[in-house]
Structure formats: C-alpha cells, structure tokens
C-alpha cells in the first residue's frame, strides 16, 4: 500500500480521537519542549560566558594566586591566597623589556590587578561600586577606550597618585547633571568596604571629610552589560594607590598579561609560569590561565547543568513513549473489527503493521514538532521575563524531533505487531 | 468448463478446546461459474466453517480446495490474503463497513491492498462504477451511519465487487435487514448473478434461499441435501407484490372512517 494513503489514514485515525491524541502526545510535547528550552537557555548562558570572556580582551594570559588547577572553577576575585606580589608583575614586565627587539617580544602588555568594593562619595551623593587597581597598560589589554580625559601613566603609578578613571555609571549616579567631559578634575572620596586583602576601613586616611580623595582624570567609554553585570559601574585607580590607600594590602588579585598574538599565548603562559616558579622558589602557588582555560572552567558547570536537565527531559520523553504505547494498545483493541475487515479484504499483516506504526510515529513526531515550537517559545518568553539570553539550537531541534519519531517507532512497534498478527476470523467476530 | 470452486472430502477439526471439534466432516462440492448457491443449516451444522474455508480465511485440516484451479490449502497467510483480495468478494451479516469513512472510501478499500497499481483517480472511478451498480452513486460521500441498513449492505456489495472477483461470498447478508430490504438486497444479488457473477451465500431463512438457484443443506458437518430451487422467487415480482399489498392496506385505512 502506498505510503501517502497510509499516512492519510493514520492522520484521520488520530483526528477521530482528537482529545485522546493530544493528551497522548502531551508526554512527548512536554519532553521535547523541556529539552529545547533547556538547551536554548544553556546555550544562551554559555554564549554569554564566552562573550564575557572574549570581551576581556584578546590573547590574554591571567595569573591568579593560589593553585587552582585542580578543578572547582575560578573564584571571582581570587582573594583566597596572598602569594602574588607586585614584584611578580614587575618581574614579568622587566623580563619582556629585556628582550632586544619588539619583534621578539611575545608580550605586549602587563597590568597588575587589585580588586575591592568601595563606597564612593562626591557632590553630596554616594554610591557603592567596584574599585580596581590596575596598571597603565590596562585599557589596551582590555581593548577599552578612554572616551574623555586620559588614563593614568607610569609616573602616576610609581607615585601612587590619587587619580581615578571612572565608568559612565559612576557619573550618572554621582554627577547626574554633568556630561562625561565635565567631570574631569572633579574630586571623589573612596571608602574601602573590604572585598579583599585586609579589608580595613579607611576613615580619616586623608582629607578632612574622611575617605581618600581622588581626582577624576578620565572617563571610560560606555560598555553596557555583560553577564548581567553593569560593566560601566567601575572606578580604576593605580594599583599602587589601591594597595597603599584603599585596600591596604600587599598582594595582587591577578596579573593581566597580553600576548602579541594567538600563537604566542602558549609560549607566554609557559614563560610566565617558569619565571614565577623560579621567583617563588619552586612553589607553583599561582595559576596561569588563558582565555580558553577560563572559558572551559566557566562553561563546565553550565554544561553539566545542561546535560543533567537534558537527561531528565530525556526520561520524560521515554515516559511519553510509554503513554503512546499504552494508547496504541487500547487503539488496537478498540479497532479489532476494523483490522479484521482489512485483513479479510486482503491486507497483509505488513500493511496493518505499517498502518499502526505510522500512526504511532505521526503521533510522536507531531508531538515533537509542537514540543519544539513550545520549547522555543517558552525559552524566549522565559528569557525575556528573566533577562536571560536564549540561543535555540538547530541541532537540538533536529535531534529532538528525530528522537521523538524514534520513540514512536520503538513504542509503536509492539502494538502494531499485535494488530498485524490478529486472526481475521477472530477479529471479525470481535464485538 | 471446470468448476470455479472444487472441494474434495474437506474436513475441519478445531483443536483448541479440551475436546477436538469436528466441524466439517467430509464435504465434496463443485460450484460452477454463474451459480447462485445458498448454504443452509442450523447453527453448529458447520456452514460458517465451510464459509470461512471457502473464503480463504481458514485452511482445511484435510481435503482439497481448488479455487479457480489453485490449491488453497498450500498457500501461506499472505498468499491467502492476495487470493481474498483478487478472487473473492465478501459481504457480511453486520455489513462491516469502516465507520466514519465515506461509502466511496469503503468501496475503494480492497483496491488499496491490491497488487495492481492504480492512480487514485482510477480507484475513484472504479468505486463509483460499483456504487452505480448497486444504485448508491448519489450517496457516495455519506458515512455508514448516515445510511440505512439496506444501503449499508449495498455499499458492502459494491466493495465486494470492486476487484472483479470470481466468487462473491455472502454470510447471512440479510440477517440484519427487514423483509422488504432483504428482498431489495436479494434483487441486487440476482441482477449481479444474471451478469455472470458466481454467488455463494449462507442463510437460515428459507424464503431468502428461495431467491437462489441451488440450495445446500448441511447438518453435523456433512451435506444432507443438494437441490436446485424449483419455482424460484424473483425479487422484482416480490417487491411489486409487496407494494400492491401496501397500497391496498393504505386504501383500506383511508376507507375506514373510524381512524
């Protein structure tokens, strides 16, 4: 018998019991929708992490204190160990400056990095923010432009100058009436709130009003949000000033190093690792990572979550398949007489088998298609509502629909074979 | 001319129960082309078993059954299905139409399982032609539940005819019909028989059997009587008589003022 005729017959049989067909397919619909939604959201989260890491800059090599190579992920801030010192960063700088020609040099930028939260006061307003202590290379390493004014230079770092470069959000909150260009020269006062190092408060550190006064010399170009974080809610000051005047600590949170190109990243990693091991008298009490390492670490948990939820969704697909098998068995019993008529009129067992199998496959595939639509719609809706990025995967859709069709074959075969093996005389007599 | 159905010493024993049931015990029978045969007998006489065997739904335990020269006892399940499809037409007591399927599609059904490849247009034309033969062409798009019993049985007859079978088998075709509709259906059979189709039907109604050309009576699995019908009923005449009687009854009713 022709495939198209069989398909038409199957669809008609499904339409005959619309409610029952919908309820039966619901298991598959929910399973597939769950898979698609999970993968979409998982992919979105992963893409977001990757974008965030890519936005850190190109060809970065990062050094963290403490040995973190044994899994567990990178802890933001890495404040746990205190083994990384400004001298280490200087050693890296001098190491590459000793190279004779710029062509030989695989490192094009180094910046120490100290992190801490602070309450910032200005203009009668105050605002909690992140204050980072970095070096002059930092904007070029992060490929981040200064839109107004200038970034601090080496002499200012050496002098632990009280100068600051602020993000757009800081201006919006402290100088709501001023344009970015107008805040240059304005003074802000920083109160440390800890967040690393000894975290001591710094009241009365300088000036009469408490806190440490810093002069704004530049404004960073607005960057917007990444990973749900406002990238412009930052203040950069020289790392020396941060350590001396704000956080009162002696160790660094990180060292940022930029390699010349992608090919030299591995060499820089190895060089820095060797240099620091030597400096730390053989202890690898630090971790050197490039962006690929960080991406892998940060997406590992997302991946694990996606697989786990995918497995749960897969179980619901199997449950949906059992539902289909159940209804197909009922359907075969209900339609025993119809099967008898078909067999008496010359249908082969194979024809009946095909008919019921196609019915099961149609049921599960339609369920799969509806599930894909629901999954995409649902994940987009959830993404909009929660502000999560969503990235539907074509591969996941194809696999989900294919898998649901396979569920139809697997769970439809037994009832269909039961139908095909009926004895026509018995089936015709069935009431 | 060789007989279209030739049965030699046919036995059927059912082994499924505790005691084997010997349903058919040595039936020999020749049916020639253009015959119109009624198979009669009380329940348990073996007529249904014989009918199932004739219809290639069941295989004999012993004996030979040649249908159009082919020994059916040797065929496997699928070959039997093809024989049913190509050489036999079935009409059942309970009509056995597919519900919620139009008359036309019901008639097309045997062609779906046929070996000949036909376009859906050809199938449709053939099915319409068969519905015309039974006088239901106008109702081709009706569902079975929109048709009367007699009409449903006529659709079933059209379905049985659609693959141009050698033999039309009817199992109590009038069993679910009132007497007038029964006569109408028998009229259809007589017309088909006149056109040269061989018909074998099972019935337990003597007056229905009287429309056939040959009556066979079975008892305890053997043929006890095999005779040609004398003074055969003709459906057209019987219908005319019935109509006359009805008209007379109506006149009578109209004539009596008491009603």
B110 contact residues in A (CB cutoff 8 A): 345-346
- Flag if B113 and A425 touch (Cβ within 8 Å): no
Taking the Cβ of residue B48 and every Cβ of chain A, the question of whether any pair is shorter than 8 Å is answered with no
What was the pLDDT predicted at B192? Answer: 92
The full set of domain ranges for chain A reads 3-51+300-429, 82-284
User: Closest-CA residue in chain A for B88?
Assistant: A345
Tell me the C-alpha to C-alpha distance, in Å, between residue A255 and each of A29, A75, A76, A151: 50, 15, 14, 18
Q: Percent of chain A having pLDDT more than 90?
A: 29
Residues 6+ apart with CB under 8 A from B130: B107, B158, B159, B161, B162
Average pLDDT of the residues in A139-146? 86
User: In this predicted model, what pLDDT tens digit does every residue of B112-160 receive, in sequence order?
Assistant: 998 878 888 999 999 999 999 999 999 999 999 999 999 999 999 999 9
From A135, A163, A158, select the one nearest A254 (Cα to Cα).
A135
What was the pLDDT predicted at A99? Answer: 61
Provide the pairing of β-strand B62-67 with B70-71: antiparallel
What does pLDDT average to over chain A?
Answer: 84
Q: Percent of chain B having pLDDT more than 70?
A: 98
If pLDDT is split at 50, 70 and 90, which confidence band does A104 have?
Answer: low
Provide the pairing of β-strand B36-41 with B21-31: unpaired
Alpha-carbon gap, residue A340 to A428, rounded angstroms: 5
- Flag if B113 and A345 touch (Cβ within 8 Å): yes
- b/e burial code for range A248-276 (CB count within 10 A of at least 16 → b): bbebbbbbbbbbbeeebbeebbebbbebb
Q: Which of B81, B97, B120 is facing A346, going by the closest CB pair?
A: B81
Alpha-carbon gap, residue A45 to A51, rounded angstroms: 10
- Flag if B86 and A346 touch (Cβ within 8 Å): yes
Q: What tokens does A264 get?
A: 């030299």
pTM of the model: 0.73
Average pLDDT of the residues in A284-288? 83
More confident of the two residues A393 and B36: B36
Alpha-carbon gap, residue A172 to A123, rounded angstroms: 12
User: In this predicted model, what pLDDT tens digit does every residue of A393-431 receive, in sequence order?
Assistant: 888 889 888 989 999 999 999 999 999 999 998 898 887
CA-atom Rg of chain B in angstroms: 20
A344 contact residues in B (CB cutoff 8 A): 55, 57, 84, 90, 96
pLDDT(A4) > 50: yes
Tell me the C-alpha to C-alpha distance, in Å, between residue A133 and each of A122, A145, B98, B115, B152: 20, 17, 83, 85, 92
Q: Could you tell me which residues are beta bridge partners of residue B40?
A: B217
Q: What tokens does A367 get?
A: 């369920």
Chain CA centroid to CA A213, Å: 38
Interface pTM, i.e. ipTM: 0.91
- Flag if B100 and A346 touch (Cβ within 8 Å): no
Alpha helices, DSSP H, located in A195-348: 239-241, 265-279, 291-334, 336-344
Residues 6+ apart with CB under 8 A from A305: A42
Going along chain B, which residue ranges are E strands? 5-14, 21-31, 36-41, 62-67, 70-71, 88-91, 167-171, 198-202, 214-219, 222-228
Alpha-carbon gap, residue B201 to B168, rounded angstroms: 8
Q: Which of B81, B90, B96 is facing A347, going by the closest CB pair?
A: B81
From B63, B61, B2, select the one nearest B27 (Cα to Cα).
B63
Alpha helices, DSSP H, located in B55-93: 77-87
pLDDT(B196) > 80: yes
pLDDT(A101) > 70: no
Do the Cβ atoms of B197 and B207 come closer than 8 Å? no
Average pLDDT of the residues in A329-333? 93
What was the pLDDT predicted at A70? Answer: 47
Helix axes A349-386, A394-420, angle to 10 degrees: 150
pLDDT(B103) > 90: yes
What was the pLDDT predicted at A194? Answer: 53
CA-atom Rg of chain A in angstroms: 32
Chain CA centroid to CA B143, Å: 22
What was the pLDDT predicted at A298? Answer: 77
If pLDDT is split at 50, 70 and 90, which confidence band does A206 have?
Answer: very low
For the ranges A114-128, A305-319, A328-342, the maximum mean pLDDT occurs at A328-342
* Residue A148 burial (CB count, 10 A): 19
CB contacts < 8 A (A, B) = 54
Taking the Cβ of residue B90 and every Cβ of chain A, the question of whether any pair is shorter than 8 Å is answered with yes
Of the candidate ranges A64-68, A317-321, B35-39, B216-220, the one whose mean pLDDT is the lowest: A64-68
Q: Percent of chain A having pLDDT more than 70?
A: 90
If pLDDT is split at 50, 70 and 90, which confidence band does A196 have?
Answer: very low
Do the Cβ atoms of B57 and A424 come closer than 8 Å? yes
pLDDT(B23) > 70: yes
From A59, A57, A55, select the one nearest A263 (Cα to Cα).
A59
Torsion B65-B70-B73-B76 (CA) sign: negative
What was the pLDDT predicted at A340? Answer: 94
For the ranges A48-52, A314-318, A337-341, the maximum mean pLDDT occurs at A337-341
- Flag if B159 and A345 touch (Cβ within 8 Å): yes
* Residue A354 burial (CB count, 10 A): 20
More confident of the two residues B116 and B257: B116
Do the Cβ atoms of A161 and A241 come closer than 8 Å? yes
Alpha-carbon gap, residue B132 to A375, rounded angstroms: 52
- b/e burial code for range B152-175 (CB count within 10 A of at least 16 → b): bbbbbbbbbbbbebbbbbbbbbbb
Tell me the C-alpha to C-alpha distance, in Å, between residue B1 and each of A42, A67, B32, B34, B194: 80, 102, 8, 12, 18
Taking the Cβ of residue B87 and every Cβ of chain A, the question of whether any pair is shorter than 8 Å is answered with no
Q: Which of A344, A348, A351 is facing B90, going by the closest CB pair?
A: A344
Q: What tokens does A57 get?
A: 């800059």
Provide the pairing of β-strand A163-166 with A234-238: antiparallel
| Tally: H helices and E strands in chain A | 13, 12
Tell me the C-alpha to C-alpha distance, in Å, between residue A32 and each of A315, A320, A323, A403: 11, 10, 15, 9
| CATH assignment, B34-57+74-217+224-253 | 3.40.50.300
If pLDDT is split at 50, 70 and 90, which confidence band does A295 have?
Answer: confident
Alpha-carbon gap, residue B50 to A91, rounded angstroms: 105
Tokens 């309970």, residue located: B94
What was the pLDDT predicted at A81? Answer: 65
Average pLDDT of the residues in A120-132? 89
* Residue B130 burial (CB count, 10 A): 24
pLDDT(A210) > 70: no
Average pLDDT of the residues in A352-364? 93
pLDDT(A208) > 70: no
What was the pLDDT predicted at A201? Answer: 42
Q: Which of A5, A345, A347 is facing B90, going by the closest CB pair?
A: A345
Burial of B116 (0-12, 13-18, 19+ CB in 10 A): exposed
pLDDT(B166) > 60: yes
User: Closest-CA residue in chain A for B55?
Assistant: A344
Of the candidate ranges A286-290, B25-29, B222-226, the one whose mean pLDDT is the lowest: A286-290
């Amino acid at each position: 018998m022709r495939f198209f005729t069989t398909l038409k017959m199957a669809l008609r049989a499904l339409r005959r019991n619309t409610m029952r067909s919908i309820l039966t397919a619901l298991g598959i619909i929910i399973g597939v929708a769950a898979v698609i939604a999970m993968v979409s959201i998982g992919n979105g989260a992963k893409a977001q992490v990757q974008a965030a890491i890519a936005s850190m800059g190109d060809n970065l090599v990062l050094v963290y204190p403490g040995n973190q190579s044994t899994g567990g992920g990178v802890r933001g801030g890495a404040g746990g160990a205190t083994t990384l010192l400004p001298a280490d960063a200087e050693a890296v700088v001098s190491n590459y400056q000793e190279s004779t020609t710029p062509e030989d040099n695989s490192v094009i930028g180094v910046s120490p990095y100290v992190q801490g939260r602070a309450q910032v006061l200005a203009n009668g307003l105050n605002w909690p923010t992140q204050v980072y202590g970095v070096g002059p290379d930092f904007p070029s390493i992060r490929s981040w432009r200064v839109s107004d004014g200038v970034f601090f230079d080496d002499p200012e770092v050496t002098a632990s100058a009280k100068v600051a470069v602020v993000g757009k959000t800081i201006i919006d909150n402290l100088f709501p009436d001023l344009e970015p260009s107008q805040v240059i020269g304005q003074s802000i006062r920083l109160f440390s709130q800890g967040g690393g190092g000894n975290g001591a408060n710094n009241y009365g550190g300088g000036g009469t009003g408490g806190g440490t006064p810093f002069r704004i010399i530049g404004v960073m170009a607005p960057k917007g949000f990444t990973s749900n974080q406002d990238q412009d809610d930052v203040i950069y000051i020289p790392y020396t000033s941060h350590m001396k005047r704000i956080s009162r600590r002696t160790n660094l949170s990180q060292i940022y190093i930029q390699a010349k190109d992608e090919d030299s990243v591995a060499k820089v990693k190895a060089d820095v690792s060797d240099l620091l091991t030597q400096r730390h008298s053989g202890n690898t009490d630090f971790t050197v990572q490039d962006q690929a390492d960080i991406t892998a670490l940060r997406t590992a948990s997302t991946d694990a979550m996606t697989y786990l939820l995918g497995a749960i969704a897969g179980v619901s697909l199997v449950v949906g398949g059992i539902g289909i098998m159940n209804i197909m068995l009922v359907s075969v019993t209900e339609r025993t007489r119809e099967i008898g008529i078909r067999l008496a009129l010359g249908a082969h067992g194979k024809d009946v088998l095909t008919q019921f199998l196609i019915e099961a496959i149609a049921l599960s595939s339609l369920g799969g298609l509806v599930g894909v639509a629901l999954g995409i719609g649902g994940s987009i809706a959830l993404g909009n509502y929660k502000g999560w990025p969503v990235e539907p995967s074509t591969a996941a859709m194809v696999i989900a629909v294919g898998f649901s069709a396979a569920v139809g074959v697997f769970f439809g075969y037994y009832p269909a074979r039961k139908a095909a093996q009926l004895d026509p005389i018995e089936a015709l007599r069935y009431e | 001319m060789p007989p279209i159905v030739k049965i030699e010493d046919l036995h059927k024993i059912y082994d499924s129960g505790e005691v084997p049931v010997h349903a058919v015990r040595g039936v020999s029978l020749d049916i020639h082309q253009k015959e119109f045969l009624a198979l009669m007998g009380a329940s348990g006489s073996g007529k249904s078993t014989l009918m199932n065997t004739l219809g290639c739904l069941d295989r004999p335990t012993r004996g030979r059954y040649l249908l159009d020269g082919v020994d059916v006892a040797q065929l496997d399940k699928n070959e039997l299905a093809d024989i049913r499809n190509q050489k036999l037409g079935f009409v059942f007591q309970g009509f056995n139409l597919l519900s919620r399927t139009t008359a036309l599609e019901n008639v097309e059904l045997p062609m779906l399982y046929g070996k000949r490849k036909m376009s859906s247009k050809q199938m449709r034309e053939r099915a319409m032609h068969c519905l015309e033969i039974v006088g239901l062409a106008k109702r081709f798009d009706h569902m079975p539940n929109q048709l009367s019993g007699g009409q449903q049985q006529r659709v079933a007859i059209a379905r049985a005819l659609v693959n141009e079978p050698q033999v039309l088998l009817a199992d109590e075709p009038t069993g679910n019909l009132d007497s007038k509709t029964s006569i109408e259906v028998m009229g259809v059979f007589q017309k088909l028989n006149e056109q040269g189709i061989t018909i074998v039907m099972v019935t337990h109604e003597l007056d229905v059997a009287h429309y056939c050309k040959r009556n066979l009576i079975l008892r305890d699995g053997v043929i006890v009587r095999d005779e040609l019908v004398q003074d055969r009923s003709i459906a057209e005449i019987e219908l005319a008589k019935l109509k006359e009687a009805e008209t007379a009854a109506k006149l009578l009713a109209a004539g009596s003022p008491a009603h």
